[in-house]
């Protein structure tokens, strides 16, 4: 059944052993943990059993499981732009509905905030802000292709003396990071109206041009959007506690348990070097592990073909040793770029376990913006509008700035802080946050 912003569309319910009318308490215990291994969730007052379907979920198995035992209405609406496509999946999963005496919102959710947010979403849809501008995305795609070709032409024409070597490396690095931002758009189905065209071009960009499996990226990134900064549900926090101690709650907990994998009180100093350095082998090892474990043979073949193609393009021009320096230095620079941009919106924000907050509070407590400028938009792939992106993940990035004043007005009305910083200030806040977390860990480790 498709999500409805107004009236609820009724569907014929299959015969089930479960009661037709259910309470929030009954739903809450079916979270896939504890005594019940079943996974139930609520969408628009209808209750669905996703225990088996989660393994088949096109967006990844874990992302849907993260909402087991909870209301997933706003997350469902946010992630699915093609409502007709998802109707066929939901019909067979329907097991009942909330009893008439049950409220539409869980007791810990802010009803007035969610009602206003859903009204805002209707306004955004009417304004056409969820519709892509094909010319914009064509120019994005064209400019990253030009950069990729220019990196090779620089070496082919000028050779491998220092200046063309460094310029070619710069072109290759920029092309790769911009491919990353573009495939991110495709992964969110914000470039084309139909998901299948987004998926197809995403495979071309990330698998063929970048050497990473699309399914691997989607599996991790969808979880991040579903529960940002929620430990054990957001994969972006997996660096805790092996490399870094993140957030006050987790850092104090780690310190009280007397666990020390790294000197966390110095993490604000080693983050600059270690974070991007660790990301490079992590990506390379995890993509092969993921593809082999999940039998993504076509994607694995495309990843291998990317590496072969790049070697055939560059090794004859510069030799194997020079190519290794050229390629891995580019990857390190790209990793550095990616780490700082992706973490400037999240590490300084609230990091904790999942508290099952409403959709708006979940996203806003975990994200902040960076001020708009042409450079900031390009440099970050428009992820400087992280708040708008998280509230409306399928919104095309060229429309974030139009939605921002509407979102800010919503925040002002409900007393929620809408944070926006300078780019440099956002980078510095990463280090300040890591320093504070390290101090919380050290205090708990020594005296907790």
* pLDDT tens digits, one per residue of 202-233: 999 999 999 999 999 999 999 999 999 999 99
Whether residue 357 lies inside any domain: the answer is yes
In sequence order, the β-bridge partners of residue 71 are 42
pLDDT tens, N- to C-terminus, the chain (448 residues): 344 444 444 444 444 455 589 999 999 999 988 777 899 999 999 999 999 998 888 888 889 999 999 999 999 999 988 777 787 788 899 999 999 999 999 999 999 999 999 999 999 999 999 999 999 999 999 999 999 999 999 999 999 999 999 999 999 999 999 999 999 999 999 999 999 999 999 999 999 999 999 999 999 999 999 999 999 999 999 999 999 999 999 999 999 999 999 999 999 999 999 999 999 999 999 999 999 999 999 999 999 999 999 999 999 999 999 999 999 999 999 999 999 999 999 999 999 999 999 999 999 999 999 999 999 999 999 999 999 999 999 999 999 999 999 999 999 999 999 999 999 999 999 999 999 999 999 999 999 7
Determine the length of the chain.
448
- Identify whether residues 357 and 423 lie together within a single domain: yes
- Identify whether residues 281 and 360 lie together within a single domain: yes
User: What is the C-alpha to C-alpha distance for residues 179 and 28, in angstroms, rounded to an integer?
Assistant: 41
To which residue do tokens 């469902």 refer?
A: 76
To which residue do tokens 């005296």 refer?
A: 447
In this structure, the number of other CB atoms found within 10 A of the CB of residue 284 comes to 15
CB under 8 Å, gap of 24 or more: what pairs does 215-221 form? Answer: 215/290, 215/294, 215/296, 215/299, 216/286, 216/287, 216/290, 216/291, 216/296, 216/299, 217/183, 217/187, 218/59, 218/60, 218/187, 219/60, 219/61, 219/62, 219/63, 219/290, 221/184, 221/187
Provide the residue range defining the domain that includes 33: 16-96
User: What is the C-alpha to C-alpha distance for residues 309 and 288, in angstroms, rounded to an integer?
Assistant: 18
- Identify whether residues 283 and 405 lie together within a single domain: yes
The three-point CA angle 174-185-223 to 5° equals 110
Which pLDDT score is estimated for 200? 97
- Identify whether residues 357 and 406 lie together within a single domain: yes
Domain with residue 54: its CATH number is 3.10.120.10
> Of 96, 126, 160, at which residue does a domain stop?
96
Whether residue 102 lies inside any domain: the answer is no
Read off the DSSP letter of residue 265: G
Read off the DSSP letter of residue 127: T
- Identify whether residues 48 and 186 lie together within a single domain: no
In this structure, the number of other CB atoms found within 10 A of the CB of residue 371 comes to 12
User: What is the C-alpha to C-alpha distance for residues 39 and 27, in angstroms, rounded to an integer?
Assistant: 9
SS3 394: coil
> Of 42, 66, 96, at which residue does a domain stop?
96
Domain count, the chain: 2
For residues 221 and 236, the answer to whether their CB atoms sit within 8 Å is: no
Whether residue 53 lies inside any domain: the answer is yes
- Identify whether residues 299 and 375 lie together within a single domain: yes
- Identify whether residues 87 and 125 lie together within a single domain: no
Largest CA distance in the chain: 76
User: What is the C-alpha to C-alpha distance for residues 295 and 272, in angstroms, rounded to an integer?
Assistant: 35
In this structure, the number of other CB atoms found within 10 A of the CB of residue 208 comes to 13
User: What is the C-alpha to C-alpha distance for residues 368 and 225, in angstroms, rounded to an integer?
Assistant: 14
For residues 122 and 128, the answer to whether their CB atoms sit within 8 Å is: no
Whether residue 225 lies inside any domain: the answer is yes
User: What is the C-alpha to C-alpha distance for residues 360 and 33, in angstroms, rounded to an integer?
Assistant: 25
- Identify whether residues 113 and 72 lie together within a single domain: no
H helix intervals, 127-213: 134-158, 162-187, 195-202
Instruction: Look up residue 203 and give its two tokens.
Output: 């495979």
- Identify whether residues 124 and 185 lie together within a single domain: yes
C-alpha count within 13 angstroms, C-beta hemisphere, residue 204: 10
- Identify whether residues 223 and 286 lie together within a single domain: yes
User: What is the C-alpha to C-alpha distance for residues 151 and 208, in angstroms, rounded to an integer?
Assistant: 17
- Identify whether residues 52 and 142 lie together within a single domain: no
CB under 8 Å, gap of 24 or more: what pairs does 133-139 form? Answer: 133/396, 133/398, 136/396, 136/398, 137/182, 137/185, 137/191, 137/396
Whether residue 5 lies inside any domain: the answer is no
Whether residue 170 lies inside any domain: the answer is yes
User: What is the C-alpha to C-alpha distance for residues 275 and 3, in angstroms, rounded to an integer?
Assistant: 40
Tell me: cis bond preceding 241? Omega within 30 of 0 counts: yes
For residues 42 and 98, the answer to whether their CB atoms sit within 8 Å is: yes
Whether residue 390 lies inside any domain: the answer is yes
- Identify whether residues 148 and 77 lie together within a single domain: no
User: What is the C-alpha to C-alpha distance for residues 306 and 301, in angstroms, rounded to an integer?
Assistant: 9
Whether residue 282 lies inside any domain: the answer is yes
User: What is the C-alpha to C-alpha distance for residues 103 and 25, in angstroms, rounded to an integer?
Assistant: 12
> Of 69, 96, 123, at which residue does a domain stop?
96
The three-point CA angle 49-189-354 to 5° equals 50
């Amino acid at each position: 059944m498709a999500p409805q912003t107004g009236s609820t569309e009724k569907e014929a319910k299959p015969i089930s052993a479960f009661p037709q009318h259910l309470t929030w308490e009954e739903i809450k215990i079916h979270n896939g943990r504890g005594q019940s291994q079943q996974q139930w969730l609520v969408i628009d007052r209808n209750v669905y059993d996703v225990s088996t379907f989660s393994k088949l979920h096109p967006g990844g198995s874990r992302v849907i499981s993260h909402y087991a035992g909870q209301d997933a209405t706003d997350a469902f609406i946010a992630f699915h732009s093609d409502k007709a496509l998802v109707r066929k999946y939901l019909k067979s999963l329907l097991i009942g509905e909330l009893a008439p005496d049950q409220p539409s919102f869980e007791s810990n959710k802010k009803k007035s905030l969610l009602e206003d947010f859903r009204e805002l979403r209707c306004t955004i849809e009417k304004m056409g802000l969820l519709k892509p501008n094909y010319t914009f995305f064509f120019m994005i795609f064209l400019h990253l292709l030009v950069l990729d070709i220019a990196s090779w032409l620089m070496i082919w024409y000028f050779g491998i003396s220092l200046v063309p070597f460094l310029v070619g490396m710069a072109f290759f690095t920029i092309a790769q990071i911009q491919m990353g931002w573009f495939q991110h758009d495709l992964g969110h189905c914000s470039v084309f109206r139909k998901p299948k065209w987004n998926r197809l071009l995403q495979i071309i960009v990330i698998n063929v041009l970048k050497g990473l499996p699309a399914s691997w990226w989607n599996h991790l990134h969808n979880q991040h959007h579903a529960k940002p900064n929620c430990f054990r549900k957001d994969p972006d926090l997996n660096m805790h506690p092996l490399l870094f101690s993140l957030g006050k709650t987790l850092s104090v907990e780690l310190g009280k348990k007397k666990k020390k994998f790294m000197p966390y009180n110095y993490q604000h100093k080693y983050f600059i070097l270690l974070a991007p350095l660790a990301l490079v082998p992590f990506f390379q090892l995890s993509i092969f592990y993921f593809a082999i474990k999940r039998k993504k043979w076509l994607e694995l073949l495309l990843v291998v073909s990317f590496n072969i193609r790049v070697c055939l393009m560059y090794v004859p021009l510069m030799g194997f040793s020079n190519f290794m320096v050229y390629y891995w230095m580019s990857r390190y620079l790209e990793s550095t770029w990616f780490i700082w941009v992706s973490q400037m919106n999240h590490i300084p924000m609230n990091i904790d376990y999942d508290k099952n907050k409403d959709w708006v509070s979940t996203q806003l407590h975990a994200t902040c913006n960076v001020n708009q400028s042409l450079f900031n938009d390009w440099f970050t792939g428009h992820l400087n509008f992280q708040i708008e992106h998280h509230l409306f993940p399928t919104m095309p990035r060229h429309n974030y700035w139009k939605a921002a004043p509407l979102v800010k007005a919503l925040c002002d009305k409900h007393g929620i802080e809408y944070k926006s910083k300078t780019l440099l200030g956002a980078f510095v806040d990463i280090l300040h946050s890591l320093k504070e977390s390290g101090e919380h860990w050290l205090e708990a480790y020594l005296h907790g």
